[in-house]
Structure 1
Amino acid sequence: MALNIQNVNLKISAGTPKQIPSDPRAQVAFSGRSNVGKSSLINTLLGRKSLARVSSSPGKTITINFYDVDKKLYLVDLPGYGFAKRSPEEKRQWSALTDGFFTQNKNIDRLSLVLQLIDSRIGPTADDEMMLDFLTQSEIPFAVVATKIDKLNATERKKNLEAISNHPLIKDVSVIPFSSLKGEGKEELWKTIFKYTKL
């Protein structure tokens, strides 16, 4: 099935689990800590500059953004986690909303894949490990995207990618190096999305 990625719009920014769309199209979710580059990645994937808002203030928005791609696929931008300056109330809101996506999503069976973003310069944080463990225990298919790969030199790149790939929670899944700046990894990401969604 052909997918016209030019035909895309922000369907809804869901602030509560009840606002999650109920139509049964395939979903691919993007998860990661605040400021890991989710919005930039989505913009790069869709060939847009500002469809997904890129914030210089990490953790600013606590919504789940559903991007409708050609009325066949939702790209789902989950709120970033692990931002220390959030208030306890904001952390509760994040937890309720993210948990709600996985537990109250009427079409969770249409969640084809979670793309777990990890900053290639840092590697998996404790929060990343919690998410990876949750995805593994829940038997939700996922792949890892190593973001900001252009920030590393060749030696750092090899070392960091090996460390990420050999992590106990990651060693059995694909790791895709990605650069929003250079577009590296875009084609491989789309291949991975098509493989899991069967579009």
Structure 2
Amino acid sequence: MANPFQRARYLLSAHNPKQLPPDGGREVAFAGRSNAGKSTALNAICQQGALARVSKTPGRTQQLVFFDFAPRQGEEPDARYLVDLPGYGYAKVPKDLQAHWQAFIDRYFSTREALKGLVVVMDIRHPLKDYDLQMLGYAANRGLPAHALLTKADKLGRGQQAQALQAVRRELSSRFGDSVSVQVFSGESKLGVDEARGVVAGWLELP
């Protein structure tokens, strides 16, 4: 079966709420600290090498970046989006810009009706940092499902992967109940890519 995410394409970048696309359809947001491998995860899920820019400099994503899905021949465009959130955890930017992002994302999570789920990307070796928990808290407050990708799992052996997965699962369960699922993932080895793709496709109601 063809991967529907291969049709994903860049649509727009929004620096303020007025630049967001119309609030209809379905969208899934991706969040992660600037060095967690978020762009690599997006590219792996979409089977595209450079859909989400992979930067050597953490924190270059300074806007909400929307990707939509190119319609097949004869189809009308679907209002379905992937949204790359700014990974401002390590971004070396002025405090007033970080404050702008914070207010923008606060408003996005509290008012965006099209938002159907959140993927939080975190390095399996350094999971559940303050930023990760903050983003998961946004989803929990809205009653949205969330999915944690423990990336860079290829850096660990299988036993270490399993231990990290169980530890994160216990912590997430104690904080958020069953609203957050979690898996190991590697954009390099493609470990867990099909599982992650299935979660996001379900939220977007893609075939």
Secondary structure (helix, strand or coil) at the match of 2:120 reads strand
Once the two structures are superposed, the pairs formed by residues 1-199 of structure 1 within 5 Å of their partners are: 4-22=4-22, 24-70=24-70, 71-72=77-78, 73-83=80-90, 85-104=92-111, 108-167=112-171, 168-169=174-175, 172=178, 173-199=180-206
Percent identity, aligned pairs only?
Answer: 35
Deviation at 1:169, TM superposition (A): 2.7
CA distance in 1, matches of 2:45, 2:191: 10
Distance 1:59 1:84, change over 3 A: closer
Deviation at 1:42, TM superposition (A): 1.0
Question: Runs in 1 of length 4+ with deviation above 6 angstroms?
Answer: none
Q: Which moved more, 1:68-77 or 1:114-123?
A: 68-77
Secondary structure (helix, strand or coil) at the match of 1:30 reads strand
Taking structure 2 as the reference length, what is the TM-score of the superposition?
A: 0.85
Deviation at 1:125, TM superposition (A): 0.5
Deviation at 1:178, TM superposition (A): 1.0
Distance 1:163 1:81, change over 3 A: farther
Distance 1:8 1:194, change over 3 A: closer
Q: What is the count of residue pairs matched by the alignment?
A: 195
Is residue 147–residue 179 contact of structure 1 (8 Å, CA) maintained in 2? Answer: yes
Taking structure 1 as the reference length, what is the TM-score of the superposition?
A: 0.89
Superposition RMSD in Å: 2.0
Distance 1:137 1:12, change over 3 A: same
Unpaired stretches in structure 2, ≥5 consecutive residues: 71-76
Secondary structure (helix, strand or coil) at the match of 1:6 reads helix
Structure 2 residue identity aligned to 1:158: A
Unpaired stretches in structure 1, ≥5 consecutive residues: none
Structure 1 match to 2:73: none
CA distance in 2, matches of 1:40, 1:31: 12
